[in-house]
Structure 1
Amino acid sequence: MAAITFKEKPVTLQGSEVKVGDKAPDFSVLANDLSPITLEDTKDTVRIFSVVPSLDTGVCDKQTRKFNEEASKLGNVKVLTISVDLPFAQRRWCGDNGIENVQTVSDHRDLSFGKAYGVAIEEMRLLARAVFVIDSNDEVVYVEYVKEATDHPDYEAAIDAVKRAK
């Protein structure tokens, strides 16, 4: 796994690193209404899994807004923003910020996504910032584990990967 830092301090990631060409690992997270969401529930379209430590921070807020804006331009793409924020807090945040093109989902229950995609931070029980693009055949076509959790991902590279996968 790549070395990841959080506020410049090294952290330990749980799970296995996901690489381009891998079959997307399955997971179970919670929608804002507490219903389960799995990889199967997102099938048959290109997906962006935008992983953030918490929606209530500046970079995470901007990352989610950026993918919300881009999703409206990309057409048939499903964007999930995944954090360990509680589903109730995610719903409030989306409502307060007019987020309509991104679905926020919570991995707070058992870190299923975090462990499956190698982004669960052991020391904090948060998720490391990352972006995964999955094609309609469940193949991973883009991966970015952001080296410093307080930095932004490479939005353009992720969007380009979505366009190539369509």
Structure 2
Amino acid sequence: MTTFKGNEVTLVGAPLVEGSEMPAFTFVDKDLNTVDSTTLKGKRVFLSVPSIDTSVCSMEVAKFMNSLKDRDDVTVVSLSMDLPFALDRWCQAKNNDKVIMGSDYKGQNFAKVSGTLIEELGLLTRAVFVVDENNKLVHVEYCAEVANEPDYNKVLEVL
């Protein structure tokens, strides 16, 4: 069960499972370019967040940005339904050059393959997916309460 501020919500689609392959998807980056996830290689961390304009989402992405800034072997992608303009504004405010900021507003491609769409809100739920060099999911976390942060230590541990 997933809740948003204590109220039960419905996630659309099947959840991803550790040990399975990360499905391919596309998203729009902060510069309005369409990005195919299969072009991202090596270890990858995909962050699913409701909106970068909320304090918890901003804090989460910033924590991963700072924790992994020296890890050239890891690509971090934050995905939300935010428009690319909001993502660009956040990047400028945080001097972000580590995390690829992706918007799923156009077609909800990521949401469909990852089971992260909150039906009632049209937003992504909070989740973290860690993928190894062979495109295998080595860590999957769907936060039971969308307003809560993920387990940062577990993510860093599997990297």
Q: Common fold, TM-score beyond 0.5? A: yes
TM-score computed with the length of structure 2 as normaliser: 0.97
Contact 1:131–1:153 (Cα < 8 Å) also in 2: yes
Q: CA deviation at 1:73?
A: 3.3
Gaps of 5+ in 2: none
Q: 1:147 pairs with 144, 147, 154, which one?
A: 144
Contact 1:51–1:83 (Cα < 8 Å) also in 2: yes
> What per-residue deviation string (whole Å, max 9, x for no partner) do you get for residues 63-119 of structure 1?
000010112133310000101000111001110121121111000111110111110
Number of equivalences: 159
RMSD: 0.9
Gaps of 5+ in 1: none
Structure 1 consecutive aligned stretches of length 4 or more whose deviation exceeds 3 Å? none
Q: CA deviation at 1:38?
A: 1.9
TM-score computed with the length of structure 1 as normaliser: 0.93
Q: Which residue of 2 aligns with 1:8?
A: 6
Distance in 1 of aligned mates of 2:133 and 2:37: 11
Distance in 2 of aligned mates of 1:102 and 1:18: 22
Instruction: Name the aligned partner's letter for residue 80 of structure 2.
Output: S
Q: Percent identity at matched positions?
A: 38
Distance in 2 of aligned mates of 1:35 and 1:73: 26
Query: What is the DSSP-based 3-state SS (H/G/I as helix, E as strand, rest coil) of the residue aligned with 1:141?
Result: strand
Distance in 2 of aligned mates of 1:119 and 1:54: 13
Q: Which residue of 2 aligns with 1:51?
A: 48
